[in-house]
């Protein structure tokens, strides 16, 4: 998978994971057929392996999910640079917010343990309205985070 520039994103790298959190690995992929074959060859024998194709925000994506070593994995592939993918941008913004406001970590984890997803939890804590995924990006831009590649 190295040619796809895999990057671990999500809650685990920023220490807000809860029981059941998966390892989200995002990748830059343009040849979906080759990626699907490689993913099936490498991970198809693992428990709960599933490949899905879908469209998110008008962008085609492939998700490969499986379990290994006691962890759930999600490989998330789309034809977009890693630095422009929402999962990566959200993680940077969330990390920055946790660094600037360390007291919110416990509340974010509490919300996640109650079943709320990560971006909606941050939106709730910071009073962001609308689509929490878009609102978090707008909030990052508004606060002037060093995200020179963030185009809104």
- Predicted pLDDT at 28: 98
Instruction: Please state the separation of Cα 27 from the chain's center in Å.
Output: 11
Tokens of 100: 């600037």
Confidence at residue 144, expressed as pLDDT on a 0 to 100 scale:
81
**What pLDDT was estimated at residue 36?**
97
Q: Confidence class of residue 143 from pLDDT cuts 50, 70 and 90?
A: confident
Residue 123: predicted pLDDT: 98
- What does the pLDDT look like over 10-53, one tens digit per residue? 999 999 999 989 999 999 999 999 999 999 999 999 999 999 99
Q: What share of the chain is helix, strand, coil (3-state, %, to 5)?
A: 45, 25, 35
Homologous superfamily of 2-80 in CATH?
Answer: Beta Polymerase, domain 2 (3.30.460.10)
Nearest CA to 46 out of 64, 26, 28 is that of 64
pLDDT score at 146 = 60
Read off the pLDDT of residues 72-81 as tens digits, 9 standing for 90 and up. Answer: 999 999 999 9
The token pair that represents 24 in the structure block: 């989200």
What is the pLDDT confidence band of residue 151, given thresholds at 50, 70 and 90?
very low
Question: Would you list the domain boundaries of the chain?
Answer: 2-80, 84-142
Q: Are strands 71-78 and 23-28 parallel, antiparallel or unpaired?
A: parallel
Contacts of 34 (CB under 8 A, 6+ apart): none
- CA-based R_g, the chain, Å: 16
Taking residue 148's Cβ as centre, other Cβ atoms within 10 Å add up to: 7
């Amino acid at each position: 998978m190295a040619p796809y520039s895999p990057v671990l994103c999500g809650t685990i790298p920023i220490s807000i994971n809860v029981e059941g959190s998966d390892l989200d690995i995002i990748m830059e992929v343009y040849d979906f057929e080759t990626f699907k074959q490689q993913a099936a060859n490498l991970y198809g024998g693992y428990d709960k392996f599933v490949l899905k194709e879908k469209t998110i925000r008008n962008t085609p994506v492939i998700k490969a999910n499986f379990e290994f070593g006691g962890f759930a994995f999600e490989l998330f592939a789309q034809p977009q640079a890693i630095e422009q993918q929402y999962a990566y941008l959200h993680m940077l913004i969330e990390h920055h917010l946790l660094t600037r406001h360390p007291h919110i970590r416990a509340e974010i984890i509490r919300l996640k343990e109650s079943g709320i997803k990560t971006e909606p939890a941050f939106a709730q804590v910071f009073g962001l309205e609308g689509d929490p995924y878009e609102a978090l990006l707008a909030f990052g831009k508004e606060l002037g985070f060093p995200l020179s590649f963030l185009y809104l």
